[in-house]
Structure 1
Amino acid sequence: MSKSPIVVHRLSPTGGRRVTIKGTIVGLAHKDADVVEFLRRAGLPDAWDLLDDPHWVEWQGGRAHEYEAA
């Protein structure tokens, strides 16, 4: 399990990345704005500032901020 409360998982074969908060799936992101919206809905209004903070967000299986399938 991740030490970060927010995990942006590996790319899906069709594009996009699953996002979980404390182990609960909150959606499939196709861009950073999607991740920010999921976090805003979870009560984190300053989500843009959290995306590159490894204490908050773990990017798994590829580069951060990439959402397109190979």
Structure 2
Amino acid sequence: MNDQPVVIYPPGLDGGRRVRIDGRFVGIAYSTTDIAAFIQEAGLQSFDDMDVVRSDGIEWRGGGPDDWQQ
């Protein structure tokens, strides 16, 4: 497992952010709710929006959880 198992990439033109979990692309997120859903699908069923915002296991590139515009 990586040091940062979840990587959120900078927003694209449409505001979507690519999401990788353990080095695997899992989708495009348009909110922290989407990111929480991807993490839940990866096995952390109780992960929610607030966990996304506070987690040290998420690497935010090109802005944090409040940045959804390019």
- Please, which runs of 5 or more residues in structure 2 have no aligned partner? none
Residue 34 (structure 2) pairs with residue 66 (structure 1): no
Give the Cα–Cα distance (whole angstroms) in 2 for the partners of residues 26 and 65 of structure 1.
Answer: 20
Report the identity percentage: 31
TM value normalised by structure 2: 0.80
Tell me the equivalent position of 2:30. 30
The structure in which a higher percent of residues are helix is: 2
Which runs of 4 or more aligned residues in structure 1 lie more than 4 Å from their structure 2 counterparts after TM superposition?
Answer: none
Cα RMSD of the aligned pairs, angstroms, is 1.6
TM value normalised by structure 1: 0.80
Aligned residue pairs, count: 67
Alignment partner of 1:50: what SS? helix
- Please, which runs of 5 or more residues in structure 1 have no aligned partner? none
Give the Cα–Cα distance (whole angstroms) in 2 for the partners of residues 41 and 17 of structure 1.
Answer: 17
Question: Once the 2 structures are TM-superposed, how far is the Cα of residue 63 of structure 1 from its aligned partner?
Answer: 2.5
